[in-house]
Structure 1
């Protein structure tokens, strides 16, 4: 065997001589070296300094879309993980439905006033997938028109929700995340919680069909309660050029504190994949696109009902 060639394995010592030559020579066996409390912190500080040195010297890589894997894993995910684990107490189901390798289009419901659900989904997929794959999110144009937000979105792997970008990512074997409800889902009133809105024109379906990529529906429960929208001040939204201006139980009444999300209990369920490889010649057929989009929407809606039954208390443990 390989290990036997590299290392000489001594014959076992007699039962009354378990400490071997050290005991026979009158020396007590040396205890195993254990980390001192300060050693762990020393390594962490050294790691942070090395990370900062690479960032300042430009010794890191980004792909053609601007995705910075090191920054995402070293900074973004650790921060988001505090919300994911401690604040939202997220549980994840159906990870086995995600492809171990190769492309996949992950399609989810959208809600929550602010697109926190997209961020939590990306952390869930990375942490629970056996290969710790990254989800490449497709975002609205508005996200990439805001200077700082655009840079953060690009660095974390996001790109504009358009078919050319989606198809390029899928052809390169990436897991791509899309939320067809768009702002209609994120900005809907609390009274309409967990009722999926219209799925637009089904552009995500045509991207999957053109590349023969399986579609993995995903249902997210919990985002509806973090910023419950009670009203939408449309004149103010138009003035600020926003899709909506929400009024929640805490915003704008509490000012900046109103931006703290409520600690709802989250459940994320990945559904069995829907194959598309046998339908590639129908990528421009409106009826095929409509039927497939409707199948994805209905799958997500039914899974939402099932997850809600598993979570009777929105703010439970």
Structure 2
């Protein structure tokens, strides 16, 4: 039998693990993490990134200070979350900054009629839905914070699938989204929040490119009933540009059913280019807010009258459809401008 080799204690194969025959030294302490050095290194990386992005030094230092303050608050749990899960600190310092490059540089969003959205108090923003992936909702959220004089947070109503999706559901809650129910919508509206709804749902966002900018059915009007009961105005919103981000040429329905998805899109780039196919095309966007429709004049019981709800729902839908056609007739290009 061959002799068992003896390892040199200086060999890298020898460890402090007792399983290797070397008892661990209980007096050996793990060196403490030099937090100050880590922070200094992070600051240097951020400064280098800001320099490459050609951000003015004063603005770069302000942004770095805000980021470090945000990290400190997260580590010490020094932030508030409302009963719906909305985390304003996270939204302002992590969520919106991630979306802004898409909003400003990629889609070059042009906002019209922001003055029609109330500066305070409850209101319901109703918009068309399109684009295969619901980027239109996210861009509307950025528009109402960045390009509205009052910098309002849009509390979006989302489908069950949003909250059932890992990571996405948690991000949606933190950024102010809540489940699309009339009860939650009414609670938010009565609390003076600005609520956003895309009543076409998956029928709108997942429609084929051949039906672009043709509104689908607006559901049963639950959102209108909530606005009527709360007595808040309804602001029609028309979004142009989202349809061209992921032109949906087909739907692999069998695969969608297997994966538990409402549809599986086939676009000019996806799934043919893999993950690269998920990069949206740089279409030029226009988000237009129309004149608000008052509901307080219709009486307290209007929300319980099916005919009133149906008529107002149809009026809002028709207003958005006409606005879409008008904007499309005057835009120069889907990608330039």
Q: Give the alignment's TM-score, normalised by structure 2.
A: 0.81
Q: 2:197 aligns with which of 175, 178, 182?
A: 178
> Match for residue 62 of structure 1?
81
Counterpart-to-counterpart distance in 1, 2:248 and 2:57: 48
Change (3 A) 1:40 1:181: closer
Secondary structure of the 1:147 match is: coil
Counterpart-to-counterpart distance in 2, 1:136 and 1:62: 14
Is 1:135 the counterpart of 2:169? The answer is no
Question: CA deviation digits over 1:104-146, x for unaligned, max 9?
Answer: 0000000000000000000011111111010000000110111
Counterpart-to-counterpart distance in 2, 1:206 and 1:191: 32
Query: What does 1:1-317 align with in structure 2 at a 5 Å threshold?
Result: 41-279=60-298, 280-317=300-337
Counterpart-to-counterpart distance in 1, 2:186 and 2:194: 11
Counterpart-to-counterpart distance in 2, 1:158 and 1:273: 22
CA RMSD of aligned residues (A): 1.2
Counterpart-to-counterpart distance in 2, 1:179 and 1:39: 40
CA drift of 1:58 comes to 0.3
Secondary structure of the 2:238 match is: strand
Change (3 A) 1:61 1:299: same
Q: Does the 8 A contact of 2:67 with 2:93 survive in 1?
A: no
Counterpart-to-counterpart distance in 2, 1:143 and 1:196: 22
Change (3 A) 1:39 1:198: closer
**Structure 2 unmatched ranges of 5 or more:** 1-55
Counterpart-to-counterpart distance in 2, 1:187 and 1:41: 40
Counterpart-to-counterpart distance in 2, 1:54 and 1:282: 45
Question: CA deviation digits over 1:214-266, x for unaligned, max 9?
Answer: 10000000000000000011111110010001100000000000000000000
Bigger Cα displacement from structure 2, 185-194 vs 125-134: 125-134
Q: Give the alignment's TM-score, normalised by structure 1.
A: 0.86
CA drift of 1:305 comes to 1.0
Secondary structure of the 1:80 match is: helix
Counterpart-to-counterpart distance in 2, 1:100 and 1:209: 19
Equivalent pairs counted in the alignment come to 281
Counterpart-to-counterpart distance in 2, 1:272 and 1:77: 26
Counterpart-to-counterpart distance in 1, 2:87 and 2:241: 28
Counterpart-to-counterpart distance in 2, 1:98 and 1:38: 35
Change (3 A) 1:94 1:40: closer
**Structure 1 unmatched ranges of 5 or more:** 1-36
Counterpart-to-counterpart distance in 2, 1:185 and 1:202: 15
Secondary structure of the 2:155 match is: strand
